[in-house]
Chain A
Amino acid sequence: AQRVTQPEKLLSVFKGAPVELKCNYSYSGSPELFWYVQYSRQRLQLLLRHISRESIKGFTADLNKGETSFHLKKPFAQEEDSAMYYCALKTNAGNMLTFGGGTRLMVKP
C-alpha cells in the first residue's frame, strides 16, 4: 500500500529565510504528487502538482523518483506563507488521495 511521510510536524523560520518542507513517499508504481495548503480558518486547497512543474506563490517542488521524495521549497519565506502543508499522493489505480500527516509552517517577522 502507498504511504506519505512528512517528518516535521512544525517548521519555524524567519521572514526572508529559505524554506524546505520534506515529503517522502512509498509506492511501487508511478504516482502523482501534490502539495495542499490550509491557511488559518480556510479550507484545504491545492498548492501545486508535480505533473505541471509550476511555481505557485514562489513555491516549487520536484519529484525525485530515486529518493522517492517531493520536497516543497521556497527561497524567501513570507509571513503569509504560515499555514499547514500536506503532501498527497494519487496512484494510477484509483482516484483517492493519500495524505501525509502535515507540517505546520510558521514564518516569524
Chain B
Amino acid sequence: DTGVSQNPRHKITKRGQNVTFRCDPISEHNRLYWYRQTLGQGPEFLTYFQNEAQLEKSRLLSDRFSAERPKGSFSTLEIQRTEQGDSAMYLCASSFPGTYNEQYFGPGTRLTVT
C-alpha cells in the first residue's frame, strides 16, 4: 500500500457529460474526504465519509454531485451534466481516528470541461 490512489489522473470531457472519479484510501483508514481545488486556490472541502456513511457535505456540493462509499473502502465521486466551472483538481484524502487524525492526500484527478 503506497498511499491514497486516485483514478483517472486526468479527465477531459465535454460540457454536459457525466464523469466519475475513484479514490482508494489507505487500507486501514476508515475516514475519507473529497476536496476540490481550482487554480490559485487552496483545496475546498466537498464531503466526508466515516466507513460507508456520508457524514458531512459542503454547500459546494450541488445536486449534480454525488459521492458514494458503498463498502467503506473505495469511494466514487460523480458529476452529472458537467459545466465549465467544474474544471478543477479533485483531491481525495483518508485518515484513521488516531492521535491526530492526520489526513493523507492522493495525487488528485484533474478535470477539464471543454
Chain A interface residues (CB < 8 Å from chain B)? 4, 6, 9, 43-46, 49, 51-52, 86, 88, 94-102
Contact = CB atoms under 8 A, between A and B. Distances in A.
B21 interface: no
Given A43-B108, A96-B48, A96-B56, A86 B101 contact: no
Interface of B: 3-4, 31, 33, 35, 40-45, 48, 55-56, 58, 91, 95, 100-108
Nearest to B49: A95
Given A45-B105, A46-B103, A52-B100, A95 B42 contact: no
Given A44-B91, A46-B103, A99 B43 contact: yes
23 contacts: A9-B40, A43-B3, A43-B106, A43-B108, A44-B43, A44-B91, A45-B105, A51-B100, A86-B42, A86-B43, A94-B48, A94-B56, A95-B55, A96-B45, A96-B56, A96-B58, A97-B35, A97-B45, A97-B103, A98-B45, A99-B43, A101-B41, A102-B40
Contact of A49 (B48, B100, B108): B100
B42 A99 contact: yes
Contacts of B33: 95-97
Contacts of B41: 101-102
A101 B43 CA distance: 8
Contacts of A101: 40-42
Count chain A CB atoms within 10 A of each CB in B4, B103, B105, B106 and give the residue with the most.
Answer: B103
Nearest to A42: B107
A89 B102 CA distance: 12
A22 to B, nearest CB: 14
